Structure 1
Amino acid sequence: MDMNLEDYEETAEIIKALGHPIRLCITKGLIENGRCNVSYMEECLAVSQSGVSQHLSKLKNAGIVKGVRTGNEIYYEVVSERAQNIIRALYGEQ
């Protein structure tokens, strides 16, 4: 794998964004379970809706997740293959 400096910078930004336990948990959960909404994450994480939304905002800004509107709900999913590879490497999953 031949990476240039920009690739390393992108990876470093993803690692920074994942560098919080809640954001790690959100990202890992979305990879394992697929799309879900903030209400579901709030219940699973025992974190307030505004807290979950703040963490999702950081993940969106880093290009790790995106939201897809379905009616009144927004469902989030991981769109960064690099972030998926990092999570799998961290947790020993293929």
Structure 2
Amino acid sequence: MEDTIDKKTNQAAELLKALAHPIRMQIVMHLTEQASINVGSLQNLLNIEQSLLSHHLIKMNDQGILHHTRKGKEIYYSIADPTVIEITKLMVGSRLIPKG
């Protein structure tokens, strides 16, 4: 049982680390408003450089938070783990995120 608790708390900590940046939390918030968003649109919404956005998207994708699909030359991101929506609601406030 102790191993299960250790494993679950370690997984939770890794998930929180992956979300622990304002840009990453903003990405989640935008993805709760739209089912999927391409990289160019996210870049415009966040008003950041493409290389910085890519850094955050890769980190979130590697942690299983996001899912990506390619449509032609564009990559679209969506939330892969709905738990992150609930976590973000708790941290930021449910009034900022539409209920879905």
- Give the TM interval when normalised to the shorter protein: 0.7 to 0.9
* Secondary structure of 1:34's aligned partner: coil
* Secondary structure of 1:66's aligned partner: strand
Identity %: 34
Residues matched between the structures, number = 92
Larger-gyration structure (1/2): 2
Counterpart-to-counterpart distance in 1, 2:93 and 2:48 = 26
Which residue matches 1:62?
63
How far off is 1:88 after superposition? Answer: 1.9
Runs of 4+ more than 3 Å apart:
none
Q: Which amino acid aligns with 1:66?
A: H
* Secondary structure of 1:25's aligned partner: helix
Tell whether 2:65 aligns with 1:46. no
Counterpart-to-counterpart distance in 2, 1:6 and 1:32 = 32
Which residue matches 1:14?
15
| Cα RMSD for the two superposed structures | 1.5
8 Å contact kept, 1:11–1:82 = no
Normalising by structure 2, what TM-score?
0.82
Normalising by structure 1, what TM-score?
0.87
Consecutive unaligned residues in structure 1, runs of 5 or more: none
Counterpart-to-counterpart distance in 2, 1:6 and 1:85 = 21
* Secondary structure of 2:64's aligned partner: coil
Q: Which amino acid aligns with 2:41?
A: Y
